[in-house]
Amino acid sequence: MKIEDIKNICVVGAGNMGHQIALKAALSGYKVTCTDVSEEVLRKAEQFANNYLAERVEKGKLNKEKAEMAREKISFSSSLIDAAEDADYVIEAVIEKIDIKRKIFSQLDEICKPDTILATNSSSIVSSKLADATSRPDKVVNMHFFNPALAMKLVEVVKGPHVSDETAEITMELSRRLEKKPVLLKKEIYGFLVNRILEAINKEALFLLDQGIANAEDIDTAVVNALGHPMGPFTLMDFSGIDLLYHIFMEHYHESQNPADKPSPSIVEKYALGEFGRKTGKGFYDYSK
């Protein structure tokens, strides 16, 4: 397979990451089908696409013709078979739970054409943990976008021991054609590049909060004004989703069995209360107003 053979893309999962990846691919000229088991999530994803394109045109940041082209190229379906059977490249973007991802990859392996590449947008689960759920391990790869996927430039491509050179090269070039800046990891490692660095910052920020040394706002203020970060760790956690962080920490703990990898008390409390950040109106900060 060559990069020119990639014409149809399927995105599995229509949540915040999935629908933005799908829309970015449509804006880049690819025919895209975004699929999800939830009709409500699909409805919201389609509404987002309509609103985003209209707003970009209204603000003069996107011409009308390109917006109309993108809208024609993106579709939404609750049927995984309909979405994936003609796909040349699949990007999975569902919840960070390995059993769910393995089930999806097994289904995709049966549905998709033999040469279709199956990528996961996972921010922590390496593709070697999914590859053996398929009969095409050489075509299973990590392609990790960052939130918000429409705006953030970086994509992490991880070349596990099972991934062919062809798959890695096509994934790198596809990222470029989506107007992203890809980086290639030559070995698998938990958390990849960015999240390993970010996790170290988050763990220390949460430790300082849990110990009562400073509150979330003051820690954020210190990081922004002394280290030059565009936003503090707690603002970023609220933006990314505290539920996502909880699942990532728990997956890591289940793998390592190291108590130090468990989510902090503050994360557990927020998760239990359903205070996931911006998406629920409250996290470490209150967004209800």
Distance of CA 189 to the CA centre of its chain: 17
The percent of residues above 70 in pLDDT, for the chain, comes to 100
Compute the average pLDDT of residues 209-224: 98
Q: What is the pLDDT of residue 254?
A: 87
Contact, 134 vs 108, CB < 8 A? yes
3-state secondary structure of 188: coil
Compute the average pLDDT of residues 218-234: 97
Least Cα distance to 112 among 142, 132, 133, 83 occurs for 83
pTM of this prediction?
A: 0.84
3-state secondary structure of 32: strand
Q: What is the pLDDT of residue 168?
A: 98
Q: How far apart are CA 223 and CA 221, in angstroms?
A: 6
Q: Residue 19, class by beta-carbon neighbours within 10 Å (0-12 exposed, 13-18 middle, 19+ buried)?
A: buried
At the top level of CATH, the class of 3-185 is alpha beta
Active-site residue set: 123, 144, 156, 195
Q: Is the pLDDT of residue 29 over 90?
A: yes
Q: What is the pLDDT of residue 59?
A: 95
Q: Where in the chain is the domain with CATH 1.10.1040.10?
A: 196-279
3-state secondary structure of 118: strand
Q: What is the pLDDT of residue 124?
A: 84
Compute the average pLDDT of residues 188-198: 91
pLDDT in tens, 90-134: 999 999 889 999 999 999 999 999 999 999 999 889 999 999 999
Least Cα distance to 90 among 163, 41, 34 occurs for 34
Q: What is the pLDDT of residue 149?
A: 96
Two structure tokens written together for 207: 């430790």
Q: What is the pLDDT of residue 17?
A: 96
Q: Is the pLDDT of residue 160 over 90?
A: yes
Q: What is the pLDDT of residue 117?
A: 98
Q: How far apart are CA 145 and CA 19, in angstroms?
A: 12
Compute the average pLDDT of residues 202-220: 97
Q: Where in the chain is the domain with CATH 3.40.50.720?
A: 3-185
Q: How far apart are CA 216 and CA 157, in angstroms?
A: 33
Helix axes 64-73, 16-27, angle to 10 degrees: 120
For 176, the enclosing helix (H) or strand (E) is helix 165-177
Q: What is the pLDDT of residue 152?
A: 95
Least Cα distance to 12 among 3, 22, 25 occurs for 22
For 158, the enclosing helix (H) or strand (E) is strand 154-158
pLDDT in tens, 42-90: 999 999 999 999 999 999 999 999 999 999 999 999 999 999 999 999 9
Least Cα distance to 116 among 178, 188, 170, 62 occurs for 170
Find tokens 């980086």 and name the residue. Answer: 183
* Cβ neighbour number for residue 7 with a 10 Å cutoff: 12
Q: Is the pLDDT of residue 289 over 90?
A: no
Contact, 153 vs 125, CB < 8 A? no
pLDDT in tens, 232-275: 999 999 998 999 899 888 988 888 899 988 999 999 999 999 99
Q: Given its phi and psi angles, is residue 79 left (phi above 0), alpha (psi -120 to 50 degrees) or beta?
A: beta
Q: What is the pLDDT of residue 222?
A: 98
To which CATH superfamily is domain 196-279 assigned? Answer: N-(1-d-carboxylethyl)-l-norvaline Dehydrogenase; domain 2 (1.10.1040.10)
DSSP conformational letter for 283 = S
